[in-house]
């Protein structure tokens, strides 16, 4: 079995027929790894846009792909077929997050004529690397970038032109080699043809905003005093504001008042809960700071 690390570079282009902007793929890059995760081969294909004769300035600065480079590229369908032949069969494809998959599906629907990427077994490499980094002490604060992960793992990026498809793949391969754990990696291999995979991929997480929602766990809506550790008594009803359920709480022992906040975010697999407890004095100071910041904002015409 081979492993393919795939990276795409795309540019936002207006699609006249569909009257909307699409992220058209303009470069395909990939590296092929053997079962020992050694790099056996690599490929990079620049695509001639079917929708525009130019590229945006931001895309050119980020990737180094100029209008002239793009215009010398091959048609999209030809590029996809070339990649499929190179990748071969019995492979596991990895991308850094699932954003490339969304772009692939969008291009297959709106840009390509007949070509389709042959991706069957799949791993979200970003998810795997982040899980391994947590075991090494990384404290998550949202999703981490490819370069950010490389910095944490102390992988040298000198000489790699990042944001080009092949270079990003080589960097991802180095991280996989450093973090690989057979059992934890195997657990993340998915079948892209399964109904569950498709549902999970296109599921859009959302915040629960009604206490009557059965997914809201009312048992989690309690707080303890930060001073003495005793359970706080709720002294107001719950209000919903900016994704948070908010209520007032009081500690009888310490005579302290708090503002308790909790939010519920529904993902495909679970409800993620976040809680905050602010002393009322701190909450007032925070509100006052926000008001002062708003007053300092320049007036707009």
CATH code of the domain covering residue 31: 3.30.420.10
Dihedral angle sign, alpha carbons of residues 55, 60, 63, 64: positive
What does the pLDDT average to over 145-164? Answer: 85
- 156 and 276 both lie in a single domain: no
Which token pair is 94?
Answer: 């990895």
Q: Which range of residues forms the domain containing residue 218? A: 206-296
pLDDT value for 301: 37
- 177 — pLDDT class (breaks 50, 70, 90): very high
The pLDDT confidence band at residue 298, using thresholds 50, 70 and 90, is low
Q: What is the mean pLDDT of residues 29-54?
A: 93
- Shared domain for 193 and 228, answered yes or no, is no
Q: Could you read off the pLDDT of 99-129 as tens digits, one per residue?
A: 999 999 999 999 999 999 999 999 999 999 9
User: DSSP letter at 131?
Assistant: H
Instruction: Over range 149-170, report the average pLDDT.
Output: 85
Are 278 and 177 part of one and the same domain? Answer: no
> Is there a single domain that holds both residue 99 and residue 73?
yes
The Cα–Cα gap between 189 and 272 comes to 23
- pTM for the full predicted model: 0.76
Does the residue 301 lie in any domain? Answer: no
Domain count along the chain = 2
Q: 202, 219, 252: which is the final residue of a domain? A: 202
Tokens 């900016």 label which residue? 242
Residue 218: which of 230, 210, 226 has the closest Cα?
210
């Amino acid at each position: 079995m081979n492993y393919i690390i795939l990276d795409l570079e795309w540019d936002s282009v207006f699609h006249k027929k569909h009257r909307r902007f699409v992220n058209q793929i303009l470069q395909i890059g990939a590296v092929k790894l053997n079962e020992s995760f050694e790099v056996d081969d690599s490929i990079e294909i620049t695509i001639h846009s079917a929708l525009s004769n130019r590229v945006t300035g931001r895309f050119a600065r980020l990737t180094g792909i100029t209008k002239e480079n793009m215009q010398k590229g091959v048609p999209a369908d030809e590029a996809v077929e070339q990649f499929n032949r190179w990748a071969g069969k019995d492979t596991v494809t990895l991308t850094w997050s699932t954003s490339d998959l969304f772009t692939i599906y969008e291009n297959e629907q709106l840009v390509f004529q007949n070509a389709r990427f042959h991706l069957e077994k799949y791993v979200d490499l970003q998810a795997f690397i982040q899980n391994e980094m947590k075991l090494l002490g990384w404290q998550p604060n949202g999703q981490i970038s490819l370069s950010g992960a490389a910095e944490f793992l102390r992988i040298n990026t000198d000489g790699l032109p990042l944001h080009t498809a092949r270079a990003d793949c080589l960097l991802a391969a180095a991280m996989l080699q450093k973090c690989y754990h057979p059992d934890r990696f195997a657990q993340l291999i998915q079948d892209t043809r399964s109904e569950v995979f498709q549902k999970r991929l296109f599921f859009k997480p959302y915040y629960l905003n009604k206490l009557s929602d059965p997914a809201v766990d009312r048992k989690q809506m309690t707080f303890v005093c930060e001073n003495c550790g005793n359970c706080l008594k709720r002294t107001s009803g719950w209000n919903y504001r900016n994704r948070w359920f908010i209520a007032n709480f009081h500690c009888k022992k310490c005579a302290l008042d708090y503002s308790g906040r909790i939010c519920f975010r529904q993902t495909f697999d679970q409800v993620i809960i976040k809680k905050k407890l602010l002393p009322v004095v701190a909450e007032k100071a925070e509100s006052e700071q926000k008001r002062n910041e708003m007053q300092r904002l320049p007036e707009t015409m």
